[in-house]
Amino acid sequence: MEGNYSTSHVSRKIGIDSTLIREYSRILEMQGYQIRKNTNGQRCYTMKDVRLLQKIHREQRETLIELDELVAQLLEEAIPKPLTPIPHDMSITMKEQAKKMEEFLHKMNQIAEQNNEIIQLNHFLLDEHKRQDNRLLTIEETITKHSHKRDDQLMRIIRELQVAKRSVAAAKERTWVKSLRSLFMKQP
């Protein structure tokens, strides 16, 4: 979160009294550190400034070093040291750089081709998966139709069997009743 923070905002944000923040800032500026200021001349802190203030505050509590010395040490650590130039005989020639760049681009093209092949394979597999899903749905519908047809046939057969049983039972009852009548009734 980079931005411009006032002294009071920094004080609330990191829990350091605003008087201490101003004192740290004054010493930093005396040592040559630049803290931006707004049009009213008030300090505007960046996150880098806030981190440095926190480090000063923490080190001040933990060490017995004078504040001026501590700030000088921390600024020396914070300012990057200039890079030592690479001797000419160690530097890569333009031809070598171009060759390495070509090799790199060739590898990148190979990776891009492999990536395209993978994408095509994924599309093929997705299409195949959709076809398989459609086949399974068709088979499921067919099985459902056949099972309904089978169930209807079984119910029809059960009903026919029930009707046949009733007819047989009724026929037996009539024969039994006839037999009883013939026993008890006289024949002329």
Q: Is residue 2 part of a domain?
A: no
> Which of 50, 64, 58 has its CA nearest to residue 21?
50
Q: Is residue 33 part of a domain?
A: yes
On the question of pLDDT at 1 being above 60, the answer is no
How many Cβ atoms sit within 10 Å of the Cβ of residue 35? Answer: 16
Q: Helix, strand or coil for residue 45?
A: strand
**Cβ(29)–Cβ(35) below 8 Å:** yes
Q: Is residue 43 part of a domain?
A: yes
- Look at residue 143 in the predicted model and tell me its pLDDT: 92
Mean pLDDT of the chain: 85
- Look at residue 140 in the predicted model and tell me its pLDDT: 92
Q: What DSSP state is assigned to residue 81?
A: P
On the question of pLDDT at 165 being above 50, the answer is yes
Q: Is residue 85 part of a domain?
A: no
**Cβ(10)–Cβ(51) below 8 Å:** no
Distances (CA, A) of 76 to 33, 152, 180: 11, 93, 130
Task: Write the single-letter amino acid at 54.
Answer: Q
- Look at residue 82 in the predicted model and tell me its pLDDT: 67
Q: Does residue 188 or residue 109 have the better pLDDT? A: 109
Domain boundary residue, one of 78, 108, 139: 78
Please write the tens of the pLDDT for every residue from 99-133.
899 999 999 999 999 998 899 888 888 888 999 99
Please write the tens of the pLDDT for every residue from 60-113.
888 888 888 888 888 888 766 666 665 555 556 788 888 899 999 999 999 999
Q: Is residue 145 part of a domain?
A: yes
**Do 181 and 129 belong together in one domain?**
yes
- Look at residue 138 in the predicted model and tell me its pLDDT: 93
**Cβ(74)–Cβ(39) below 8 Å:** no
Q: Is residue 37 part of a domain?
A: yes
The domain that contains 52 carries what CATH number? Answer: 1.10.1660
Domain count, the chain: 2
On the question of pLDDT at 155 being above 70, the answer is yes
Look-up of token digits 């803290």: 35
Q: Is residue 171 part of a domain?
A: yes
On the question of pLDDT at 187 being above 60, the answer is no
Domain that holds residue 188: 120-188
- Look at residue 179 in the predicted model and tell me its pLDDT: 76
On the question of pLDDT at 46 being above 70, the answer is yes
